[in-house]
Amino acid sequence: MFGQILFITMALVIVVTSIGVVAVRNPVRSALNLVANFFALAVLYLFLYAQFVAAVQIIVYAGAIMVLFLFTIMLLNLGSPSELSERGDLKRPVTWGLALLFVIVLAGGIFVRLGEAQPTADDLGTVQMVGKFLFTDWVYPFELTSILLLIAIVGAIVMAKRRL
Amino acid sequence: MEELLNNPWIVIPLRIIIVVGFVLAAVPVLTWVERRVLALMQIRKGPNRVGPAGLLQPVADGIKLFFKEDVLPERVDRFIYFLAPAGFLIPVLCAPAVIPWGPDDRLTPIADVNIGILFLLAMTSLTVYGIVLAGWSSNNKYSLLGGLRASAQTISYELAMGLSIISVVLLTGSLSMRDMVLNQQGSLGLLNWHVFRFFPLGLIATGIFLIAMLAETNRAPFDLPEAETELIAGYHTEYSSMKFAMFFMGEYASMVTISAVMVTLFFGGWLSPLPFAPFTWIPGPLWFLMKLGVFIYFFIWVRATLPRLRYDMLMKLGWLRLLPTALVNLFLVAIVLWWQK
């Protein structure tokens, strides 16, 4: 009972803040909506016994990435925070097309029924289990991701140094 | 009594009252202690008029803050301006929920979750929002600069702090704060604590955490976000009355919290430093509070002793000194652990 109330509240928060991210004019408020969204998502991860993922969601996304986002937004337009309205060209039709595609996929998933989701073990989300899977079954993708991140870091330095 | 302590409807609110109540009650006491100790170190008198030895000064300050006019500057972003002080104080009060204060697990950690230290890191990393948003919404360039400095500083020092915490996680093999304290228990007393583990390595990790915790709480010598000589008061320049008081409370409460983390991770939590007769009679929570007091005194002592760093020195210290040292230290801890196995 309590769990259901909490789940519905969090789901509503996710929907409202997701709309807020794209609908709000002020970029700082938009970023704040995204932070609230990440929070509610972390609570949903806790429902799935994925404590580690929930904590990482808050530390990495809410605590680090969104702070950098805010930092950048504040540095970019210090004077007038509501100057972020690019209009025209292809963006709008493409957005509507993608949204329509998403609705079709979603409706297909609901009406066609892809089959029941398999329940996972209760301890799958703990640090021990995540670590075990990361370093056994998924070790190659994991290491490849680290190389990808390294390339991104090197790229960022190259781009920044060009101007110096 | 036993029955009451096993009833979750009684014991969980009780835990919350104990932890949050203690942290909030410590704030006024700390303001008095800080002013008296600073005065002592600078050969002044400090607050000594209101009540015996100035002990009622915090009460007088609180009443003054309540009755002050709440000034709202022109053209602020109202919603965010009002949200920011709460956004700073609430994560600070949530963070100590996972810290065990004594051997009895029915009363102190509000929740002994298996991601304990990660929860703590998550909460401390959120405090930066309050500061950044306060700086941005105030519509004041000093506030904005203070907020930007705070976010850059917190992100930079969180890395070194996290790496020094990972070495403790490696030693313990668990993320639960309770397991971390129990891992420091042994017949050698204080030599079993994580500070003295693998002799220089534990000490280096402790030193890194010590510097990072000063920077994370924006305390001197890392109080650049509120450097009064260049930024007036930084991010809370435009705040008055109780909204200013919330920032003030948050700063002192985070001092208590981070000192408690320091005690739990490296200095044996509630364990007695000498594991024999007269010392083990003193109950665990009392040891915990004594160690906590030492670190809070250290905060004040550092403020009275060291001059503020320049901004480029702060960044250089964080990225070029602390981070590589923490990385190498973590690597060495891992090697020693592997070699022992």
Q: What confidence tens digit (pLDDT) does each residue in B316-338 have?
A: 888 888 999 999 999 999 999 88
Picking from B119, B133, B144, the nearest residue to A78 by CB comes out as B144
A67 → closest Cβ in B113, B132, B144: B132
3-state secondary structure of B159: helix
Res A88: pLDDT: 57
In-domain check, residue A102: no
Q: In this structure, what token pair is assigned to residue B221?
A: 């010598």
Domain finish residue from A28, A59, A79: A79
Please write the tens of the pLDDT for every residue from B8-64.
778 888 888 888 888 888 888 898 888 888 888 888 888 888 878 888 888 888 888
Angle of helix A139-162 versus helix A127-135 axis, rounded to 10 = 90
**A45 in a domain, yes or no?**
yes
Whole-angstrom distance, CA of residue B264 vs CA of residue B258: 10
Same domain, A11 and A71: yes
A68 — contact with chain B (CB < 8 Å)? yes
For residue B17, the model assigns a pLDDT of 87
B154 contacts chain A (CB < 8 A):
yes
Q: Is residue A1 part of a domain?
A: yes
In a domain, A110, yes or no: no
Residue pair B121/B165 in contact by the 8 Å Cβ criterion: yes
- Please indicate, yes or no, whether residues A3 and A74 belong to a single structural domain of this protein: yes
The ipTM value here is 0.78
Q: What is the pTM of this model?
A: 0.84
Q: Does A110 touch chain B (CB under 8 A)?
A: no
The pLDDT profile of chain A, 164 residues, written as one tens digit per residue, is 778 888 899 899 999 999 988 888 778 888 889 988 998 998 888 888 788 888 888 888 888 888 888 878 877 765 454 445 555 567 778 888 999 999 988 888 777 766 666 666 667 777 888 888 888 888 999 999 999 999 999 998 888 887 66
Q: Residues A47, B111: contact at Cβ < 8 Å?
A: no
| Res B103 pLDDT > 50 | yes
Q: Does some domain include residue A89?
A: no
User: What's the one-letter identity of residue B4?
Assistant: L
Q: Please give the Cα distance from A130 to A46 (Å, whole number).
A: 15
State which residues form the domain around A32. 1-79
Measured over the CA atoms of residue B295, residue B296, residue B297 and residue B303, the dihedral's sign is: positive
Spatial contact of B248 and B234, defined as CB atoms under 8 Å apart: no
* pLDDT, averaged across chain A: 82
Nearest Cα of chain B lies from the Cα of A81 at a distance, in angstroms, of: 10
**Does some domain include residue A75?**
yes
A127 and A57 within one domain: no
Q: What is the pLDDT of residues B183-233, one digit of tens each?
A: 888 777 778 888 888 878 888 989 999 999 888 888 878 887 776 677 777
Instruction: For B244-259, write each residue's pLDDT tens digit.
Output: 888 888 889 989 999 9
Q: Model confidence over B112-145: pLDDT tens digits?
A: 778 888 888 888 888 888 888 888 887 778 888 8
Using one digit for the tens of pLDDT, what is the confidence trace for B258-300?
Answer: 999 999 888 888 888 877 777 778 788 888 888 899 999 998 9
Are the beta carbons of A28 and B113 separated by less than 8 Å? Answer: no
Dihedral Cα B227, B229, B231, B233, nearest 10 deg: 60
A116 in a structural domain? no
Shared domain for A134 and A72, answered yes or no, is no
Same domain, A67 and A125: no
- Cross-chain residue pair A28–B80, CB shorter than 8 Å: yes
User: How much is the pLDDT for A81?
Assistant: 47
Which chain B positions have a beta carbon within 8 Å of A59's beta carbon?
118, 121-122, 125
Phi and psi dihedrals of A84, rounded to 5? -145, 50
Q: Which residues of A touch B113 (CB under 8 A)?
A: 51
DSSP string, B122-181: HHHHHHHHHHHHHHHHTT-HHHHHHHHHHHHHHHHHHHHHHHHHHHHHHHHT---HHHHH
Coarse DSSP helix, strand, coil percentages of chain A, rounded to the nearest 5 percent: 80, 0, 20
Model pLDDT, residue A152: 93
What number of CA atoms fall less than 13 Å from residue B207's CA on the CB side? Answer: 13
Q: Which of A28, A59, A77 to mutate to test the interface with B (most CBs of B within 10 A)?
A: A59
Residue A95 in domain? no
Q: Which helix (H) or strand (E) holds B198?
A: none
Domain count within chain A: 2
Say if the Cβ atoms of B132 and A71 lie within 8 Å.
Answer: yes
- Is A73 in the same domain as A126? no
Same domain assignment for residues A65 and A135: no
Please indicate if any CB of chain B lies within 8 Å of the CB of A126.
yes
Q: Does B132 touch chain A (CB under 8 A)?
A: yes
Distance CA B140, CA B232 (A): 11
Best mutation target among A33, A34, A58 (most B Cβ atoms within 10 Å) is: A58
Quick one: which of B68, B65, B94 has its CA closest to B245? B65
Q: What residues does each domain of chain B span?
A: 71-340
